[in-house]
Structure 1
Amino acid sequence: MTTLEWVLQGALALGLLVALPVAVRLERALTGLRRDREAMAASMKGFAEATREAEGATLRLRAAADSAGRGMAEQTASAQALREDLRFLVERAEGLADRLDAAIRQARGTAPAAARPAPSPVPSPVRSPVLSPAHAIPHPAAPPSLAEEEPAMPRTRVEHELLQALIRKRVS
């Protein structure tokens, strides 16, 4: 072997010795990338699953919101009907209170409210009227009173209390 061959073989051996640690580091880096790729694939699968769950939750939330909206619409419609019923009852109670007021005034012998002079502009303190026993709910043994003059329907306790409140409001 000539010196040139020895030099070339020495250079080749030296190059291999220098390349060996670089190759080992490259192998480790490639192994890490493969592991990262597997972790990335697992992350992508997890992300896809989370996306599907979020879409399902969104659909369920939308269905719940629609259901709640329909329920609120039904309650609103029911409340509208109840409001109309209450308005009717209030109008009826006002009519009954007017009739009762007229009957009381007639029984006491006083003029109707339209014929009386207007109240003074100075406000008077609010006081509740003192009602006589004749204005109370009649007992079975009690003589007939003005409350019994209305034919047809007997009054419930709530109707009676409402009429009393309306009378107190008008008197004060």
Structure 2
Amino acid sequence: MGWYEWSAQLLLIGLLAGAIPCILKLERTLAAVRRDRQALEASAAGLGEAVRMAEAASLRLRATAEGAGRQVAERLAAAEPMRDDLRYLVERAEGLADRLEGLVRMARPMAAPEPAAAVPSQAERDLLRALSQGLAGARSGR
């Protein structure tokens, strides 16, 4: 072996020794990347499950909303004839109320109260009788 070979081998050993810290750092970084990758895959699996659950909930919500919409439409369809009947009854009632008001106005002059004759009540008659008997008894006792 010549001195060139020894120099080349020493240079190679020096380079390899200098590369060892970089290799250790790279190995730690790769281990951290592998751990993060596993955590990311687990998160992605959880996210996928959450997306599936959200889609299922969205479908159920849509179905519920459609069912509620159909119920509202059915109730509106059932209420329209009732609304028309009520409108007709209100119109008739307004006409009848107007006629009744006219009749009441016409009847008021006819029903004007006549001056009532003073009719004594039973208590007043009893009082008058007692007074007249008292006076008659007082006259006879003189």
TM-score, normalised with respect to structure 2: 0.62
Same amino acid, percent of matched pairs: 52
1:45 match: secondary structure: helix
CA distance in 2, matches of 1:55, 1:95: 59
Provide the residue aligned with 2:66 in structure 1: 66
Provide the residue aligned with 1:53 in structure 2: 53
1:83 is aligned with what amino acid? R
CA distance in 1, matches of 2:24, 2:38: 21
Provide the residue aligned with 1:12 in structure 2: 12
CA distance in 2, matches of 1:104, 1:8: 132
CA distance in 2, matches of 1:32, 1:79: 68
1:35 match: secondary structure: helix
1:17 is aligned with what amino acid? A
Provide the residue aligned with 2:135 in structure 1: none
Over aligned residues, Cα RMSD in angstroms? 2.7
1:104-143 counterparts in 2 under 5 A? 104=104, 107=107
Q: CA deviation at 1:72?
A: 2.1
| Higher normalized helix content (fraction of residues) | 2
CA distance in 1, matches of 2:36, 2:74: 56
Provide the residue aligned with 1:42 in structure 2: 42
Provide the residue aligned with 1:23 in structure 2: 23
2:30 is aligned with what amino acid? L
TM-score, normalised with respect to structure 1: 0.53
**Relative contact order: is structure 1 or structure 2 higher (C-alpha 8 Å, sep ≥ 6)?**
1
